[in-house]
Structure 1
């Protein structure tokens, strides 16, 4: 077999491959054997039809087509290896020459990894913000803890923001209740958001026994964006009563004897969390410093696919949170054009970073052992909320293990970058950054404030939340 490569662009190549017929013989033999099993020819047992009879009955062309379809993928892989090309997508293959009993020639155009001349990547410098823990941050955490141990008491007055109501709700279109758009007896905190747009405004001022109808737009389902009628009725209005922040509460909610110790622990844990955030910011800043030193050519097909995938993921997350894209852009004070430009920049940086980290991993001769792969599988399973064994089985069955190995190698390459870098905060203090896992993530996670087991009555009084309105990292682009 002979092969030649033509560089169409820094990220696209065209292979021209010539395959002598003697190298096609195994595929030709297999094609004759397969066709012999499929046809009936008088005078011959099934599977025993000679090649010359198959040529006469079926046609030599059909045999050649089957043999070439079998052989070309293998020859394509051999040509890639012969020319040290790393494909990024499926190739466009075309048979350009076929001379029976002589040779087959085909071409393959494919996106490939660009050739990169790595810049110096040791001793990079970057800066991050100082860690700031305000009294307001501490008060917010303490307030959240008090709310977890709060109790609800019925009140006769109209509902106000911050109150809890027990409500029935249904969304209707043309007088028909929409499937999956009806709830009964749900506890909801007024002002929390995350359900139907306009609900909080409607609930303010309602008393137990009141009904109200308002219009809203759906953010999910087949009728997304359409206006519907929403009927809401309130059966209870409840005020949350919070325990005093005193020593008795500290002993109930934590392992500490005094409220001063509890507050100090909250501040300490906030500090740990801020340090982890700062370490993640430092990791990203170091990678950005490397990206600024080199321009990496990017395959537009890969960028487009990643852009579409991320955009779809953001839209799904916003839909699950009950937020329209318009509302999200309004909250972020972004136009659609600014959002798209920022997303494009993030995707291009991410793809370029992958190529750079792959090259660093290769240069540093990094490897992955079984324990690292197992730990990475467990982490990925936990992140996706799946059983680790089921997740691992799926990855093996669908041949995704090479992708996971590549993720670990990139994480190790990132650790090489970060650990050799000098990162300072805004005050000029040098950060210690030795806490990256093999996949590049931060090692420890901030713990919740220490708590005792919640008593049954406190747990029963804890209001049910309507929906999780958190947004993903991608949605914060």
Structure 2
């Protein structure tokens, strides 16, 4: 087999391949065997029809087509390996010559992973938020814990903000009660904003047995987005009572004996959260600066596929779970379709650039992923997905996504290498040493590097095959 490679642009090549006809022998044999199993010819047992009879009855052309279709992937892969290119996606193949008994020639155009030069990033400097936890932050955290242990007790008075009321609701549009516009026994905390707009004002000051009518825009159901006349009846009022902030509360709500110990633990937890946020912020800002320095040509077909994938995932998965369609989502976001398309394309470009640059860093720094690192990453991904580690691991293996996870960890390590080499300061002007928070920094780096497109080597290889 002879092959040559022509560079069409930094992200696309054309392979020209010539194959001596004898190299098609195995595929021709397989083609005759396949056709033998599919057809019947009077006078011959199934599977025992001679090749010459198949040629006469069904045409030599049909056999050649079957053989070429079988052999092309193998010849294409050999040409790719010989040219030492990294294909992305499926090739566009054109058979330029097929002479029976002599020659098969074809061309294959395919996007490739571009050659990237990692820029000198040592001069990068970014500023991140300082890790500061105020007494007010601790007070708020303890108050949230306190609210979780609140109890409710029925009261015989008018409802006020903070009370838990039991409501019966009826919604009418154009004077007609909606089929799904009635609900009974709905519990609602006044002031929480978890029900319809206007309900707080309607029920405040009402006692059990009283009702009110107000107008509101429906947030869901068959008449979502329409103005409705809503009648609400208060059937019960209960006051929320929170426990006293004392040592007894600390013992009830935590493993600590005193309120002072509980507050100290809350402060430490908040500091840990802010340290993680700081590490994430550092990773994201360093990555942005690195991408500004790097020259990365983007394969157009890959970009188109990534944009379509992002749109599909948003429309058919994320919005579907929220009961929204794209038009409603854009209305809520206050964006036009053109603005949405531009943002999606921008995000896709950044995702592709991120993967290409970090993958090149992985190769340059010769970074490997240990089993322990992969397991830790899998545990974090499982937690964020709401699945158990075993369930998530099974889904990853069955979906052939292990290489994808390995790539995420490797890219996270590559980004961490860059962060370690640049200057990170907080808003107080103090240098930030993320190496003191290895776990948080590593997790943040992987999170920053996760927003990569479906252009990783394994997926690209799958598409090429």
TM-score (norm. length: structure 2): 0.82
Partner of 2:289: 289
Cα deviations by residue, 1:18-56 (Å, 9 ceiling, x for unpaired): 222222211111111011111111222211111111111
SS in 1 for 2:408: helix
Partner of 1:419: 420
SS in 2 for 1:91: strand
Partner of 2:459: none
**Of Structure 1 and Structure 2, which has the larger fraction of its residues in helix?**
2
**Displacement of 1:351 after TM fit?**
1.9
SS in 2 for 1:107: strand
Partner of 2:15: 15
Distance 2:223 2:91 in 1: 39
Deviates more, 1:6-15 or 1:53-62: 6-15
Counterparts in 2 of 1:131 and 1:381: CA distance versus 1, 3 Å: closer
Partner of 1:216: 217
Q: Cα RMSD (Å) of the superposition?
A: 3.5
Deviates more, 1:407-416 or 1:230-239: 230-239
Deviates more, 1:26-35 or 1:132-141: 132-141
SS in 2 for 1:89: strand
Partner of 1:5: 5
SS in 1 for 2:179: strand
SS in 2 for 1:110: strand
1:31 corresponds to 2:35: no
1:325 corresponds to 2:326: no
Distance 1:386 1:427 in 2: 40
Distance 2:150 2:392 in 1: 39
Counterparts in 2 of 1:420 and 1:366: CA distance versus 1, 3 Å: same
**Displacement of 1:291 after TM fit?**
1.2
**Displacement of 1:226 after TM fit?**
5.4
The number of equivalent residue pairs is 441
**Displacement of 1:225 after TM fit?**
4.6
Cα deviations by residue, 1:246-293 (Å, 9 ceiling, x for unpaired): 232223222333333322332222112111110111111221221121
Partner of 1:460: none
Partner of 1:449: none
Distance 2:121 2:381 in 1: 28
Counterparts in 2 of 1:172 and 1:385: CA distance versus 1, 3 Å: farther
**Would you say the 8 A contact 2:408–2:446 is kept in 1?**
no
Distance 2:305 2:204 in 1: 45
Partner of 1:143: 143
**Would you say the 8 A contact 2:413–2:445 is kept in 1?**
no
Q: How does 1:66-465 map to 2 (within 5 A)?
A: 66-122=66-122, 124-169=124-169, 175-178=177-180, 184-194=184-194, 199-200=199-200, 202-209=202-209, 210=211, 212=213, 214-218=215-219, 225=225, 232-311=232-311, 317=318, 320=321, 325=329, 328-329=332-333, 343-434=344-435, 435-436=437-438, 440-442=442-444
TM-score (norm. length: structure 1): 0.80
**Would you say the 8 A contact 2:165–2:236 is kept in 1?**
yes
**Would you say the 8 A contact 2:196–2:216 is kept in 1?**
no
Distance 1:205 1:306 in 2: 54
Counterparts in 2 of 1:143 and 1:37: CA distance versus 1, 3 Å: same
**Would you say the 8 A contact 1:165–1:238 is kept in 2?**
yes
SS in 2 for 1:88: strand
Counterparts in 2 of 1:341 and 1:47: CA distance versus 1, 3 Å: closer
Deviates more, 1:425-434 or 1:49-58: 425-434
Deviates more, 1:141-150 or 1:343-352: 343-352
**Displacement of 1:13 after TM fit?**
2.7
Deviates more, 1:356-365 or 1:233-242: 233-242
